[in-house]
Amino acid sequence: MKKKYFGTDGIRGEVGKYPITPDFMLKLGWATGRVFAEEGDGFVIVGKDTRISGYMFESALEAGLAAAGVDTKLLGPMPTPAVAYLTRTLRAKAGIVISASHNPYYDNGIKFFSTEGTKLPDELEHKIEHFIDSPMSTVESAKLGKASRLKDAGGRYIEFCKATIPNTLGFNGLRIVVDCAHGATYYVAPCVFDEIGADVISVGVEPNGLNINDKCGATKPKFLAEKVIEFRADLGIAIDGDGDRLIMVDHKGEIVDGDELIYIIAKSNQKIGKLQGDVVGTLMSNLGMEHALKKLGINLLRANVGDRYVMEMLKKNKAIIGGESSGHIICLDKTTTGDATVAALQVLAEIQQTGKSLHELKSGMQKYPQVLLNVRINKKVNIDEIEEVTKAVKAVEKKMGEKGRVLLRSSGTEPLIRVMVEGENISDVNKYANELAEVVKKAI
């Protein structure tokens, strides 16, 4: 059954426009409380990123949960993966994150975690939606929920992150620039890398409620690249606003994306005999990663775009490493969700254990040129059922053979058909992408 409010990653939108409004968040908190109150006593933890609207929605959710008779532990600004970790280790009924991830400050949203630290199952989201559309009531005064601040939530998470790499590794002398996008990791991430002994230069650590993801962080890694060169650092780490996406920069100022980082982590795990199963990417993962992993005897599985689908495929195939080129990297042997800080630590550990630079580690994978064009449409279509388009795609695929790839898909958020072509030769890739975009335009 289709969900009314929940998307692939919670509920998200522009602040002030339904459903990202205070009254809806009050009802959402109450509905969530009703669902989890049915499962017995316990509490819900609530964390947020640094955008200004987080204060408003935190209060609304807290009030709704209290009205349903559920206690709340407030974490304040805390990375999304930290909320997942704390939900699990504190045995909370659920975890709620107030964040719009890599979006600008005027957006916000809500993500949920189960008591296991994973995304909520569909059945619970459907239950919550049922109560959202039901009349709101309040438990008797003696049974109202209470709210309290969880002390040292950041410290607990910092210790967890450090424990994901061997404590015998020393990082003295390693100079790194850490860009926290003025987001939820602004305090904890620099602490993690400082406490393992690295020489840390922190940027993007002065949130004011409006500057989250603004020209910095994992979605704007050129800022980090400039800083790495400026400070003559060994590498840079860029994290997005809620702390689940990672992009890195090598000492030459070259950007190292999620595909390359997944390759490095998978290769490292294979070397020490800890890689379980295949590696999971998405339909957008670069063909170069697939070929590089194949040379190592590792198979790449492709899930639909979105971390929820990557996670589903990881679990289905009993695999542990997966993610997206955008930098959402999941190390299931370490934690239960995508975690930029944890993923970065795995890469740093490999650098120290091999004595190789990030630039050298990524050189085992050669990215193929990739061109992505958007074709705007005015009606919903199934692109796979348009004969002239499928013929054109097959023709291009035949020309490129195993040295190229074509993907046409509808955007999940905009009225667009995305035309992606990748291959060895950039001029051919450009040519084929433009040809296919024209075929799509004419056909629609």
The residues annotated with a catalytic role in the active site are 101
CB neighbourhood size of 222 (10 A) = 13
The CA-to-CA distance between both ends of the chain, in Å, stands at 29
CB neighbourhood size of 163 (10 A) = 12
Integer angstrom CA distances of residue 426 from 6, 272, 375, 414, 431: 39, 36, 20, 27, 8
Both tokens of 139, joined, read: 């438990």
Residue written as token pair 């690295």: 198
User: Any residues with CB less than 8 A from the CB of 29 and at least 6 apart, and which?
Assistant: 60, 61, 62, 63, 64, 65, 67, 68
Amino acid letter for position 76: G
Under 8 Å between Cβ of 303 and 279: no
Q: Is 232 exposed, middle or buried (0-12, 13-18, 19+ CB in 10 A)?
A: exposed
Q: How far apart are alpha carbons 13 and 21 in whole angstroms?
A: 10
Both tokens of 262, joined, read: 């997944």
User: Any residues with CB less than 8 A from the CB of 239 and at least 6 apart, and which?
Assistant: 178, 179, 180, 181, 183, 185, 189, 217, 218, 245, 246, 340, 341, 344
DSSP state of 39: T
Under 8 Å between Cβ of 92 and 44: yes
- Starting at the earlier edge strand, list the strands of the sheet with 370-376: 370-376, 416-423, 404-410
Of 372, 368, 374, the residue nearest 421 (C-alpha):
372
35-43 contacts, C-beta under 8 A, 24 or more apart = 35/124, 35/127, 35/128, 35/131, 36/70, 36/93, 36/94, 37/68, 37/69, 37/70, 39/93, 42/70, 42/71, 42/91, 42/92, 42/93, 43/70, 43/71, 43/72, 43/73, 43/92, 43/93
Both tokens of 434, joined, read: 């433009």
Angle in degrees, CA 157, 303, 255, rounded to 5? 60
Under 8 Å between Cβ of 263 and 288: no
